[in-house]
Amino acid sequence: MDAVNPEATTTDVTTSVHQLADRARRASRILKRANRDWKDRALAAMAARIDENRSMILRANEQDLASGRANGTSEALLDRLKLDGPRIDGLIAALHELAGLPDPVGRVVRGETLPNGLRMRQVNVPLGVIGTIYEARPNVTVDIAGLALKSGNAVLLRGGSAALNSNQALVAVIRDALESVSLPRDIVISVDEFGRAGADAMMGARGKIDVLIPRGGRELIQRVVTTAKVPVIETGEGNVHIFLDASADEEMAVDILLNAKTHRPSVCNTVETLLVHKDAAAAPAVLQALSAAGVRLHTDDRAAALVPQLQTIPAGEEDWGNEYLDLDIAVKVVDGMDQALEHIRAYSTGHTEAIVTSSLAASEQFVAEIDSAAVIVNASTRFTDGGQLGLGAEVGISTQKMHARGPMGLAELTTTKWIVQGDGHIRK
């Protein structure tokens, strides 16, 4: 990798990034020929090299942390940036886990022999070149490199500049690992040296990058989604609702709400708004249990009246659209299913919505009407997760409708190809 060149014009950067994408394309053609065994050996080599180079990686990470502290970066961001022994163990374990998963490439999606004798089949093949734009989390570097490799794709990485040294160290180690199993180094290429202009060049690289997957906060994802000319898979934002129906069982409702809100509040499948049917007998117990677990209740007037003994925070318009990602929940009383559905339609990000109910009719209506990636009946929203749903490794949770919706596994990093075989068939 060349050093950063602050004099580079945007055109220079575009040309350079496109050249790197072409190198990734050539590498992807060689990778396409690698069978599962070969790819799994590459993943094992990546894991081994990361293990061997811990001190170098941690030193680079320490440089980033020091710059971050000097720049007054918040503790929360520093924590996301930080690598340590256990986190590196986690990266290594994830690579080994990936090696244990089946190869998504070469699977026959459908196939048949047509009446005229033509044999046709539709087969999963790699997308080609994936681009990722992400924030200062060096774990994403390893994560995406592994997922891309296993699905037969080359990848162009643009990580947050706050993690520049960590990412450079990790990418160097990964490229050495690829070379050690006779795969091209260019399967994994960083464009970090070009800063933000590199991200812009990736977003414009139509025909050179097959798909962009932004990973990070709302602002980053929205910028990529609205700017990119390359197809994007939108992931992550989850303004998740639970509707407590009139007939909900109290114990079940308490268990589900506590789990959905407190199990891991900072992730996208945590519940953010509780809609309470006005006749739901379970409601006071649920609100008390949440409050007792340290959850701040942001309530409308009717919800506050359900628990007069509790201190609640009056909810305003901004609460209904807020993804708290913390021990906060918005609570609103609705007159019935229709009002609940209307509220969800207005504020949902299309990630996950759940209902707690004993009514078959209510569960069926909810499942039919909700237009989100996942609809859950009588279970925690935390189950919207590739690992939990049996997909193996997870690329992210897609909140869009095209290509992939909901938890994305390795198969979602592939496309298909029709293969048609004849014996001189012509069309009549």
Under the rule (CB under 8 A), what is the footprint of a second copy? 29, 32-33, 112, 114, 118, 120, 122, 125, 127-128, 206, 210-211, 225-226, 229, 231, 233, 249, 251-252, 255-256, 258-260, 263, 363, 367-380, 382-384, 388-390, 400-403, 405-407, 415-427
Closest distance of CB 180 from a second copy, Å: 25
| Cβ at position 328, least distance to a second copy in Å | 20
Q: Enter the tokens of residue 75.
A: 């503790």
Residue 133: CB minimum distance to a second copy, A = 17
Rounded to the nearest whole angstrom, what is the least distance from the CB of residue 352 to a second copy in the complex?
9
Q: How far is the CB of 314 from a second copy (least distance, A)?
A: 29
The rounded distance, in Å, linking the Cα atoms of 62 and 68 is 10
Q: Which is nearer to a second copy, 229 or 278 (CB)?
A: 229
Nearer to a second copy, 44 or 120 (CB): 120
Backbone angles phi, psi at 171, to 5 degrees: -65, -40
Cβ distance to a second copy smaller for residue 22 or 62: 22
SS3 at position 72: coil
Handedness of CA 63, 67, 72, 77 (dihedral sign): negative
In angstroms, rounded to a whole number, what is the distance separating the alpha carbons of residues 73 and 65?
Answer: 9
The distance of closest approach from Cβ of residue 181 to a second copy in the complex, given in angstroms and rounded to an integer, is: 20
Q: DSSP letter at 332?
A: E
Q: How far is the CB of 107 from a second copy (least distance, A)?
A: 13
Structure tokens at 305: 């009246």
**Pick 30 or 44: Cβ nearer a second copy:** 30
- State the nearest-atom distance from the C-beta of 282 to a second copy, in Å: 12
Both structure tokens of 190: 């960083």
| Matching residue, tokens 């919800």 | 303
In angstroms, the CA 331 to CA 372 distance is 20
Contacts of residue 251, defined as CB under 8 A and 6 or more positions apart, other chains included, come to: none
Which residue number, 32 or 54, has a Cβ lying nearer to a second copy? 32
Smallest gap from Cβ 109 to a second copy, in A, equals 11
Cβ atoms of 306 and 333 within 8 Å: the answer is yes
Closest CA to 222 of 212, 210, 214: 214
Instruction: Supply the angle between the helices 36-52 and 164-180 in degrees, to the nearest 10.
Output: 130
Beta bridge partners of 277: 334
Nearer to a second copy, 48 or 379 (CB): 379
Task: Give the nearer residue to a second copy in terms of CB position, either 173 or 370.
Answer: 370
Task: For a second copy, give the closer residue by CB, 68 or 406.
Answer: 406
Place of tokens 């139509």: 206
Q: CA-CA distance, 195 to 382, in Å (whole number)?
A: 35
CA separation for the pair 395, 408 (Å, rounded) = 5
Nearer to a second copy, 139 or 399 (CB): 399
**For the packed helices 250-262 and 283-292, what is the interaxial angle rounded to 10 degrees?**
30
- Give the three-class secondary structure for 369: helix
